[in-house]
A = this chain, B = another copy of it.
Amino acid sequence: MKQTQQYLKAQNSIVPLFEPESLAVVGSFKEGRPGAYRVIKNLLAFGFPGKVYPVNPLYDTVFDRKVYPSIREVPQSIDLVVVITSAQVVPEIIGHCVEKKVKAAIIVSDGFAERDEQGARLQQEVVSIARSSGLRLLGPNTIGVVNPYVGLITSQYGVLYEKIHTGSIALCAQTGLIGPSTMPFEDMHYGISKICDFGNKCDIDEIDLLEYLGNDPKTKVIAMHLEDIRDGRSFLRKVKEVVSKKPVLILKPGRTEESRKALASHTGSLAGEDRIYDSAFKQAGVIRVSTYKELFDLAKIFAYQPLPAGNRVAIITMTGGGGVMGVDVAVESGLVPAELSPETIERLAEISPWLASNPVDLGPAAVVVDNFFSHYEEIVETVLKDRNVDCAAIVFSGVPRVLDYQIFARLKTKISKPVAFWIYGPKLSLAEEFARNLENHGFPAYPECEPAIKALGAAFQYSSIKSRFSQAEEKP
């Protein structure tokens, strides 16, 4: 459904959305059903340290807590309200939030602009009520937010894991796909700083998130899925400002006319021509990704690794075939194969002449050199310390080996150039274990060649954007 009225933006901070000291949940506390009951249960399981107030006139207690009949009856102040009721009563509840001087509300309820004209009018009514006081609104039709640093999770569904790891990747999406009940966050095992599902974006939008996450010390990289961008000019100004501080990755569907049609019926947004977005993103220094998976794959390298000084990549591989595939992806990702320095060539040739070129193919040397893997650490270190090498992709088989993970722990302390791993092997579980260990040591690991090399390409791309922006600043 189309937005029927001009959108006017509130200016209050969205800090209470992610860092509330007190929180009320309005909805049904029926056990075992998705809804307010689950939100409270998740908050308790997650260890949210703030005050939590259940609100519903039909209940007395839930989880041994008093249930208040209305937000207005809660004696203390409330930073954030999570609303999971039928759409019809949302205006009244938001009215109560305004009276109570609540700072932000997450409207999880659906049945608004995403449904029909009547819902769109209801949504507009809710926005008008909130606007009168500066109350900020997320949603409607949203999973809400996650802030693992304070145990904040507003999902009305059960989550199958205990804890999302804390970390430095912020994820925002205009789809419930981002939710903790749909994404395998535990298996992904990298750390999250914040998660936000925009839902219908009646108020809080990508600009607010950029503003907040740009200043969030826990966030090193921002990964966004955006089906539409509400105010292109403000967005570009804001994103450029944020990009000068940290990388912004964006997946913007609607690359084809057909998907823009599907988008219009999904979100009510009239997405513009794709090439306009594309050139705007380029200008603003956004790293545009083309698949949902890539959004997460590329975010990892920024979370774990330093930026490269240049685009010269070394590939250290167990398989010649893998090295060749890697060079193709490297060049297509804006990298060039590094020309190893004479000193490196000489040192590697001492171990085995088969090592003395890039890609450094360990396969042939491994079969002719005795106890070859005792040289592994030295090979990797020699290559990475080469002045002609800016970054490296390491291809390795995830099977029980002579390799000690301490090699990578030491490497992390000795090397300040980005490294990404392609870990393959005959057993997924072993490869995943190897990958998890590498990531615990701060190295991003991927089960395929392409994302590993593309991640290095993205790191170089951002490194170039950053220096372009800082040069532009230096000019009078």
Contact = CB atoms under 8 A, between A and B. Distances in A.
B426 A181 contact: yes
Contacts of A257: 331
A475 to B, nearest CB: 34
B426 A183 contact: yes
A323 interface: yes
Nearest to A174: B321
Nearest to A335: B258
Contacts of A65: none
A410 B428 CA distance: 31
Nearest to A179: B426
B265 A357 contact: yes
Interface stretch (A12-20, A234-242, A360-368, A465-473): A360-368
Interface stretch (A121-129, A210-218, A248-256): A248-256
Contacts of A291: 325, 329, 448-450
B259 A426 contact: no
Contacts of A185: 426
A160 B262 contact: no
Contact of A184 (B256, B322, B426): B426
Contact of A450 (B180, B293, B332): B293
A262 B449 contact: no
A328 B253 contact: yes
Nearest to A159: B426
A448 B227 CA distance: 18
A321 B258 contact: no
B225 A321 contact: yes
Interface string A10-41: 00000000000000000000000000000000
B337 A262 contact: yes
A136 to B, nearest CB: 23
Interface residues of A, number: 74
Interface string A172-183: 011111001111
A321 B177 contact: yes
Given A181-B426, A262-B337, A319-B176, A254 B324 contact: yes
A357 B428 CA distance: 38
Given A399-B160, A426-B160, A361 B323 contact: no
Question: Which of A321, A331, A397, A430 is most buried by chain B, counting CB atoms within 10 A of its CB?
Answer: A321
B176 A321 contact: yes
Contacts of A111: 368
B427 A266 contact: no
A186 B428 CA distance: 9
A163 to B, nearest CB: 13
Contacts of A255: 328, 331-332
A417 to B, nearest CB: 20
A442 interface: no
A348 interface: no
Interface string A433-445: 0000000000000
A327 interface: yes
Nearest to A337: B258
A328 B257 CA distance: 9
A190 interface: no
Interface in A328-375: 328-332, 336-337, 354, 357, 359, 361, 363-364, 367-368
A156 to B, nearest CB: 11
A258 B182 CA distance: 41
A180 B263 contact: no
A428 B258 contact: no
A110 interface: yes
B258 A336 contact: yes
Interface in A399-445: 399, 424-431
Interface of A: 110-111, 114-115, 159-161, 173-177, 180-187, 225, 227, 253-259, 261-263, 265-267, 291-293, 319-325, 327-332, 336-337, 354, 357, 359, 361, 363-364, 367-368, 397, 399, 424-431, 448-450
15 contacts: A110-B364, A160-B427, A176-B319, A176-B363, A177-B322, A181-B399, A184-B431, A253-B325, A253-B327, A254-B324, A258-B336, A258-B337, A259-B324, A259-B328, A293-B450
